DNA sequence: ATAATTTCTTATCATACATCAATGCAGGGC
DNA sequence: GCCCTGCATTGATGTATGATAAGAAATTAT
C-alpha cells in the first residue's frame, strides 16, 4: 500500500475523463502532495479560503455548512468513489468558504494547490481540457441533483442515495445523511421503517 | 440593429469570464450562425440530440421536460441575461435530450455547433480555458440553486426568482414559473396573494 | 464496568404545500 | 358580437414532513 498505488488510482480516475499522456501526468504528479487525516479532522474551515483540492484515496469526507444553527450536508465523498474533495465554490470562486469539510474516517488525500493547478492549466492544454470536462461533468451531475430535489419525494431520494453511496448508511451517522437528503433525522427514521416494512 | 451589435453583445458576455484576444474572438465569430425563432418555436426537442448551443440575443427561452405527464421548467433564459441556451445535459453528454427548449417570444440566437466548439477548443487554449471557466461558473450557480431548493420555503424561492428574472412574472404564463419553483400554480397564486398583502 | 454522551427511534401535534373542484377572466376564432 | 379554450384564482380537504419532546440504543469516555 505504498504511495505509488495511490497515485495510480488517481491517474485511473482522471483517465475516465480524457486520455492523459505520460508527460502531462508527470506534470500533475509533481504538484501532488500526499497527506493523511485523522477521523474528525477538518480539511476546510468555514470563513477560510479553500486553497487546495484533494483527491480522496481512502476514507470518507463530508462537506457541510451551518444554516439556522443546523448542519446541512452538501455531499459526501468516499474513497471508493475516487473523486476530489474540497469546498468547490470557495476553491473556484476564490472566496472564503461557507462550508466545512471534515473526515468521518481516517483518510488519505493527494493535495493539489490552486496555484499549482493554474500552473498546470497554463502549461498543458490537455490538462486544461481535463479541467473543463470535469467541470462539465459535475455541472451535469448537479443538474440531476436539482431534478431529484425538486420532484422526487424523500423516499425516492433515499433510494437514490443508497445507490450513489452504497454502504454509507452503515458508515456514517444517519443525521448527516438526513441533512444531505434535505429532511430531518426523524423523517429519515420513518422512511427507513417504511422501506423495511416493504422489504418483507 | 444589425447583426454587428449582436455579435458584440456576445463578445461582452464572454469577456466577463476571461480576456479574449482579437484573434480568438475572430475564430469564434466564424463559427457563429445567426438564427431567428418565432414565439412558440422549438429549439431542442425531447429525444433528439442537442447539437448546438445558442447565445440568446433577444427574446425569452424556456427549458422544460415532462414528468408524470406534467411539464417541469428547468430554467428560463431572457435576452437581457445574455447567456447561452440549450439542453446542456444533452449537449455536454452527447445523449438524446430529455428536455425541450422553446421560445416564449420571438428570439434571436447566435448558434455554435458542437463540432464547431470542439474545433475551437482544439485550436485555442484561451477558448478552452473560457469553456472551463464557464462550466465552473455554472456549476457554482447550480450548487446555489440546490441550496435554495433544499432549504428555502417556496415564498423565499419566489422572491429569489423575482431577483433572478426581473419582469418575468409579466412576460410568461405563471404556471411555467410555478413549475420552475417546484410548486403548483395554485400555490404560486396564494404566495403572490400573500406577498401583495404584505406590500401594503 | 459504569457513567456520560451521542445517536436513533417513536409519538404527538403543527404546518406548508398538494390535490381536487368550482368559479372568474381574458384572448382568439367564428 | 359570442363562444370556446386555456389560465388564474379561491376554497375545502388531504398528506408528507417539520417541530418538539421523551425514551431506547449505541458509542465513547472515565
Q: Are strands A99-103 and A60-67 parallel, antiparallel or unpaired?
A: antiparallel
Q: What is the pLDDT of residues A113-146, one digit of tens each?
A: 999 999 999 999 999 999 999 999 999 988 888 8
Question: What pLDDT shows up at residue B139?
Answer: 92
Burial of A163: CB neighbours in 10 Å, binned 0-12, 13-18, 19+: exposed
Nearest to A146 among B92, B136, B146 (CB): B146
* Poorest-pLDDT segment among A65-69, A74-78, B19-23, B26-30: A65-69
Following CA atoms B93, B96, B97, B102 in sequence, which dihedral angle do they give, to the nearest 10 degrees?
120
Phi-psi region of B159 (alpha: psi -120 to 50; beta: other; left: phi over 0): alpha
Of B125, B136, B147, the CB nearest to A135: B136
pLDDT above 70: residue A1: no
- pLDDT reported for residue B70: 85
Q: What is the pLDDT at residue B3?
A: 46
Distance between CA atoms of B109 and B44, rounded to whole angstroms? 13
Q: Which three cell numbers stand for residue B108?
A: 434571436
Is B132 in Cβ contact with A135 (below 8 Å)? yes
What is the structure's pLDDT at B192?
96
* Residues A54 and A85 sit within 8 Å (Cβ to Cβ): yes
pLDDT in tens, A143-163: 888 888 777 889 999 999 999
Within chain B, where are the H helices? Answer: 3-15, 22-31, 88-93, 114-123, 125-151, 154-164, 174-181, 185-199
Contact B129 A129 (CB under 8 A): no
Q: How many Å apart are CA B163 and CA B161, to the nearest integer?
A: 5
At B161 the pLDDT is 93
pLDDT beneath 50: ranges in chain B: 1-3
Contact A165, A155 (CB under 8 A): no
Residue A82 to residues A38, A108, A160, B67, B149: CA-CA distances in angstroms?
18, 11, 19, 32, 28
pLDDT reported for residue A5 = 81
Calpha distance A82→B134 (Å, rounded): 24
Record the cell numbers describing residue A46, joined without a space: 468555514
Structural domains of chain A, ranges and CATH numbers in brackets: 3-117 (2.60.120.10)
From the CA of B2, how many Å to the nearest CA of chain A?
A: 33
Structure-model confidence comparison of residues B33 and A105, the more confident one: B33
Contact yes or no for A65/A98 (Cβ under 8 A): yes
Look at residue B151 in the predicted model and tell me its pLDDT. Answer: 78
User: Which site among B142, B154, B157 would you substitute to test the A interface, given the most A Cβ atoms closer than 10 Å to its Cβ?
Assistant: B142
Structure confidence at residue B157 (pLDDT): 94
DSSP code for B80 = G
User: A53 pLDDT exceeds 50?
Assistant: yes
Distance (Å) from the alpha carbon of B25 to chain A's nearest alpha carbon:
18
Encode A7-16: b = buried (16+ Cβ within 10 Å), e = exposed.
bebbeebbee
Q: Are B180 and B144 in contact (CB under 8 A)?
A: no
Residue A55: is it exposed, middle or buried by C-beta count within 10 angstroms (0-12/13-18/19+)?
buried
Shortest Cα–Cα distance, A2 to chain B (Å)? 33
pLDDT band at A4 (very low <50, low <70, confident <90, very high): low
User: Least CA distance to B68: which residue of chain A?
Assistant: A151
Q: Can you tell me the distance from the alpha carbon of A149 to that of A179, in angstroms, rounded to the nearest whole number?
A: 12
Amino acid at each position: 500500500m505504498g504511495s505509488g498505488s495511490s497515485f495510480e488510482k488517481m491517474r485511473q480516475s482522471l483517465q475516465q475523463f480524457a486520455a492523459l499522456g505520460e508527460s502531462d501526468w508527470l506534470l500533475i504528479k509533481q504538484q501532488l502532495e500526499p497527506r493523511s487525516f485523522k477521523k474528525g479532522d477538518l480539511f476546510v474551515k468555514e470563513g477560510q479560503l479553500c486553497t487546495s483540492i484533494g483527491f480522496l484515496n481512502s476514507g470518507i469526507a463530508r462537506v457541510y455548512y451551518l444554516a439556522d444553527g443546523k448542519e446541512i450536508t452538501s455531499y459526501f465523498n468516499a474513497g471508493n468513489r475516487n473523486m476530489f474533495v474540497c469546498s468547490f465554490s470557495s476553491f473556484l470562486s476564490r472566496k472564503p468558504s461557507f462550508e466545512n469539510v471534515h473526515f468521518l474516517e481516517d483518510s488519505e488525500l493527494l493535495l493539489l494547490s490552486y496555484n499549482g493547478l493554474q500552473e498546470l492549466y497554463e502549461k498543458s492544454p490537455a490538462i486544461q481540457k481535463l479541467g473543463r470536462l470535469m467541470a462539465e461533468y459535475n455541472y451535469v451531475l448537479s443538474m440531476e441533483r436539482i431534478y431529484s430535489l425538486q420532484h422526487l419525494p424523500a423516499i425516492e431520494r433515499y433510494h437514490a442515495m443508497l445507490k450513489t453511496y452504497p454502504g454509507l448508511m452503515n458508515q456514517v451517522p444517519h443525521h448527516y445523511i438526513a441533512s444531505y437528503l434535505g429532511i430531518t433525522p426523524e423523517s429519515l427514521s420513518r422512511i427507513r421503517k417504511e422501506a423495511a416494512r416493504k422489504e418483507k
